[in-house]
Structure 1
């Protein structure tokens, strides 16, 4: 075969591949459009500005329809009532009274991701660094710090050591505080330098101190860190995705225990007494919990039974009593703002 014919054949193969990829994307989008068109409408209502002036919950709306993936707001007094939609679409969202962090995806032949800080009017005020697939996002309570966790490779926490994360802390003015993965990690008095170490799921105590998941050698720990000293020190094992209670005394988290790979149980750890309580939710939860108040934990749970791309936000008492209840239907990634 001549060089010219080889070139012609190569071009033909490349054009066929591009056409196939384009056709696949078109078919996927056509199917998605048909699904969204057939979805029942979700109740809408409320004024965004007035909602921001009262206690409220910010979340990603997963109700199938034209607003799927949009950030929505409901009053704390009627969380499962009509929702007000913002212009923002996010994969993961978290908010305070001052700012909102939005991890978003631009899907196409090549999917790209962004980390955007939104002002109280839901306009982008700053783009922050982001590398990889969005996973976790948190703001400090005073709104001065942002923590994001992404998967650099892999896309699940099911098997420690089979993925790599990047957890970055930045100030809301755009200044990078540091990559937590590069902080000194101390576990049981020993510095961990193994290549498989990962840190993810930050929850802030103040503008210096934070809690985070640390992992290495197939094990996970709850760890306490300090931005000023750039150190992270383990507290106890089998803790993932910590969330600090409003009163600063307890950590809600997911634990693996003796469950199968990729399964977790919700629990609460008391930082003062060192005691742990498993919560009444017995289904597997893969989420970083949020606190509704000092007595109630929130979390997202996918609609695995019907196979849809939706989920609900549930609540459960933080003392192990009661039973789980849906707080917001067709929702994900809640943030309670008071």
Structure 2
């Protein structure tokens, strides 16, 4: 159990608690390339956690209001979903004379928690979490602890998707996205509507799938679990999950892809297998990443205003207002292109 934080904890207190020198603690905190035993490192990290130690640099910066840095954590900077969001954050930060520090976790949740620790220690102005929340109790508990540490120091934390914990949000309504896509298929007389998702533990995937199911239920249509499959939010996973889906069930006339990357993989699979888009199978993605209008056929998709979302998150962090109860939802737009066949009305 953590000790009560009744006074400012110094590096000397950490060294004493861990039975090491102050120099050793400093080397570990600053990641200096100097050999430190794993045993000593573990004792120091445990002492930091137990004492609730925050390096003086962060505390001083926050007291003097000198910090001009905003931290941004992304899952994969090479993914257009995150790079477009990062562009919105970095551009707005520069306009407001702040520097955006972008950290790429490569979809590793341990890295995300570590980046949060480092940003808090650096005393950043605020932290933006851009990926969908992970629906795992242990991860959410660890995330909650770090958010509380940040708030205690006056560091604002904003999420760009639901995280499963209490956090200010700048996002879109992913349940409504799922309903919009499914209802559009239904409106155009599609009957066998499949769903190809990403990681089933990610909140955005869960919410879009939930919207899909709600739309089917509201129209009195069967929810066929054989038409639902999850994988990852990548081209490769889109290709592979589509293959599994068609091995499982051939009677498919439309596919709702949880993001555009998945849809691109699906397009390749369908074309390789001589399944005509949209005459035999229509599909819709989510995101409207830059390549969506250049696929063949061009991709029908739900446009998410990534740039505006990133802009607004920075504005919240840089404002003087209390943002703890903020939930800002941007509108999305269905962009109809060549990947869906609209029946002619006679």
Whether TM exceeds 0.5 here: the answer is no
Q: Which has the higher contact order (CA 8 A, sep 6+)?
A: 2
> TM (normalized to structure 1)?
0.26
**Which protein shows a greater Rg?**
2
> TM (normalized to structure 2)?
0.26
Higher strand share: 1
